Amino acid sequence: MLEVKPNCELCDRDLPPASKEAMICSYECTYCSDCVETTLHNVCPTCGGGFTMRPIRPVRAEGGQANLGLSNRPAGTQRYHTKWSREQIDAVVSRLKNVPPEKR
């Protein structure tokens, strides 16, 4: 199940569960849309993949799924920070930013 991390791993911006600014890679690395666009150029520094908008988990699930939703399965609270230095990020971004994610 998606953890729904609470912050951007680069700039530490808060990304609450309903944020439309939260972007994730296929391994759930989480960044704000500003960092994805201006610093990462749609390149995850961990896996080299691209990003997509993080799904928004509803507060209460519908359709008889009483054990789902944020009220029963809350978002994560542990804050994450990238382990990569700015130089390492710049190197991987420089190498991959002009290659479409599906061809990396």
How do residues 21-40 score in pLDDT, each as one tens digit? 999 999 999 999 999 999 99
H or E, element range at 33: helix 33-38
* % residues pLDDT > 70 (the chain): 96
Domain extent at residue 39: 1-104
Would you say 8 and 31 are in contact if contact means Cβ atoms under 8 Å apart? yes
Q: What is the pLDDT of residue 59?
A: 86
DSSP strands (E only) in the chain: 22-24, 30-32, 52-53
How many structural domains comprise the chain? 1
What count of Cα atoms within 13 Å lies in the side-chain half-sphere of residue 56? 8
Q: What is the pLDDT of residue 64?
A: 66
Quick check: 103 pLDDT over 80? yes
At 1, the pLDDT band (50, 70, 90 cuts) reads confident
